[in-house]
Amino acid sequence: MTPNQYKSIEVLGSQMAYVEAGSGPAVLFQHGNPTSSYLWRNVIPHVAPHARCIAPDLIGMGRSDKPEISYTVEEQARYFDALLDALNLQDVVLVLHDWGSALGLDWARRHEERVRGLVLMEFMLPIPTWRDIDPQGAATFKEFRSANGRKLLIDENRFIEQVLPASILRKLTDEEMAAYRAPFLEPSSREPVYRFPNEIPIAGEPVNVWAMAEAYQAWLLETHIPKLFFSVDPGALIPPKRAAWLRERLKECTAVDLGPGRHYVQEDHADAIGQQIAAWLSRLN
């Protein structure tokens, strides 16, 4: 993104940054952990000729302020809700990934009248048991949730240095890695990156996030809001078996198989994602 595309708005006493490009119907692109609006840099150019594209940086991430808060999912949701109100987004299409999907789907469940469509990729649903995660991933995230987690994620910055590049098929360039590192150069800035993996809803824990995810999953399976669903193989949050289950159950859903991919699918399939979103938007009423 070019610097002149970045804007900011006051939200709950802090400045939250966002990228804005194009004009027309609102489309909000929401990243998760440990990324920022930078994740969408190669997707948005395909959509901006057809819509007003807005890509926020979550509080504590990207170019947004880093207030001294807990960065729990409940806190993130409070800022996310306030941001969408501050931007006065109505009749919005939500393009959601990773933790951005948890925040976005929770908001959409509570504000269905303001949602025009949902675009989903590698998104967060409740995970019934640890056995439903691949063994290597389960071991990694159990370690992140252990007493050693703060050392790994805050002192050693493992999510940026190891998990992120390992979850992309191609090799990120030095410039791209520098962009992802930039918001988290100091250990004191890494609290959001630590908090998110500790709150993934797995086997009923943590109770509050599990309840939130169960509620928006039930809503998602019932709502007739139009959906565009991208899947990859082997994926991470949405492996092929779960993708097939979703394709059978999601109503008013267009499903697109992007082919090989892990988690940060925007880094391997940006052009395809952007082109498919643009085409799908043209068909929305």
Residue located via tokens 């609290």? 191
Beta strands, E only, the chain: 6-11, 14-21, 26-30, 52-56, 92-98, 115-123, 227-234, 253-261
Distances (CA, A) of 70 to 113, 257, 272: 30, 37, 37
Do you find a cis peptide bond into 234, omega within 30 degrees of 0? yes
Question: Which one from 31, 46, 263, 269 is the annotated catalytic residue?
Answer: 263
Distance CA(138)–CA(120), nearest Å, equals: 23
Distances (CA, A) of 172 to 33, 46, 247: 17, 21, 31
Closest of 7, 5, 58 to residue 29, by C-alpha: 58
- Give bridge partners of residue 227 from the DSSP assignment: 118, 253
Question: Which one from 20, 98, 106, 191 is the annotated catalytic residue?
Answer: 98
Question: Which one from 20, 57, 106, 122 is the annotated catalytic residue?
Answer: 122
User: Catalytic annotation on 263?
Assistant: yes
User: Catalytic annotation on 122?
Assistant: yes
User: Catalytic annotation on 98?
Assistant: yes
Active-site residue set? 98, 122, 263
